[in-house]
Amino acid sequence: MNVYSMGLFAALLTFGLFAIANADGPSAAIGQPAPTFTLQDQNGKPVSLGDYAGKIVVLEWVNPDCPFVKRHYGEKTMTSLAGEFHDQDVVWLGIATGHTANAPSLQHFAHQYGLSWPILLDHDGAIARAYGAKTTPHMYIIGKDGKLLYRGGIDNDPSGDKADRINYVREALTEITGGNPVSHPDTKPYGCGVKYAQ
């Protein structure tokens, strides 16, 4: 781990921002129907999971103020991946929970990084609880049949300095679009804790 990464981790731990999810608590189960929802996006448009029936849906829990989210968007992790699979019936949806579900802030974030997908406002945390979302980012992939096929981290590199980083979401999408089972359907996410409403 380099000096920058060590400093980042020290700061995050000091302020209680870093979390690696544990297995406890309710969560959507791999191989079972994904919890349905209808939420407004950052522009006030209602978006339902059912709008994307027959497509592969990636859900990303996001917090624009989280250093881990900022790093991945700075590295274009999410935007590059979404673009890579755009023509393969894969759609991307962001979800912001609790006080991070702030429409003006998310509009700015979407504009800043040129996002082509909506960010949904989960004000009361009901959808985060249904999925068991614990960190930002926390990633989920729903198959064309509506069943949950992947949940966990974007990759295996919390510090951002691994030479042999494995992007679990890319791996899973490659397998799903190729008609193959997901090799690592349930991995451990990392990032800032989801900001559930008090």
Cβ–Cβ < 8 Å for 36, 49:
yes
Q: In what order do the strands lie in the sheet with 139-142?
A: 119-122, 90-97, 56-61, 139-142, 148-152
Ramachandran bin of 25, using left for φ above 0, alpha for ψ from -120 to 50, beta for the remaining angles: left
Q: What is the structure's pLDDT at 122?
A: 98
Q: What is the structure's pLDDT at 22?
A: 41
d(CA 116, CA 80) in angstroms, rounded, equals 11
Q: What is the structure's pLDDT at 154?
A: 98
Structural domains for the chain: 3-193 (3.40.30.10)
Q: How many CB atoms lie within 10 A of CB 149?
A: 22
Q: What is the structure's pLDDT at 195?
A: 83
Residue the block writes with tokens 């992947």: 150
Q: What is the structure's pLDDT at 185?
A: 98
Return averaged pLDDT per consecutive 10 residues of the chain, 198 residues in all: 44 42 61 97 98 98 97 97 97 97 98 97 97 97 98 96 95 98 97 86
Q: 14-45 in b/e burial notation, b at 16+ Cβ within 10 A?
A: eeebbbebeeeeebbeeeeebbebebbbbeee
Q: What is the structure's pLDDT at 28?
A: 85
Q: Output the DSSP codes for 137-190.
A: S-EEEE-TTSBEEEEE-SBS-TTS--TT--BHHHHHHHHHHTT---SSSB---E
Q: Whole-model pTM?
A: 0.88
Cβ–Cβ < 8 Å for 168, 162:
no
